[in-house]
């Protein structure tokens, strides 16, 4: 995973990335390479908890998609670069 993070970090630094669903799916496909089977695809079903954590991820499907759309809408409205970096 560290190599995947380095790869996407370099790609983001060297390219002008707009914050949108297509680019987020692309980033996920690089980070999760060799770790999950459905790269760059938003999950459609629920998953169990995260091992060693009490956090329960959102269920997949419409709810997850709605939250992603909300997050992207909020991110596009932030004009101050530092604030945008912290938010996203």
Q: Is the pLDDT of residue 6 over 90?
A: yes
Q: What is the pLDDT of residue 38?
A: 82
- Kindly state the average pLDDT of the residues 13-36: 90
To the question of pTM greater than 0.85 for the whole model, the response is no
Mean pLDDT of 23-48: 86
pLDDT attached to residue 27: 92
pLDDT in tens, 41-59: 888 877 777 888 988 888 8
User: Any idea of the CA torsion for 34, 40, 42, 44, to the nearest 10 degrees?
Assistant: -60
Continuous segment of H or E residues that includes residue 15:
none
Domain edges within the chain = 1-41, 59-88
Mean of per-residue pLDDT scores for the chain: 87
């Amino acid at each position: 995973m560290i190599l995947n993070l380095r790869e996407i970090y370099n790609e983001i630094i060297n390219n002008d990335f707009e914050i949108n669903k297509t680019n987020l799916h692309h980033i996920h496909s690089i980070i999760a390479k060799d770790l999950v089977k459905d790269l760059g695809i938003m999950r459609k079903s629920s998953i169990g908890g995260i091992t060693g954590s009490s956090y329960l991820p959102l269920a997949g499907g419409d709810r997850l998609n709605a939250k992603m759309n909300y997050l992207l809408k909020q991110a596009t409205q932030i004009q101050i670069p530092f604030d945008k970096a912290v938010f996203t």
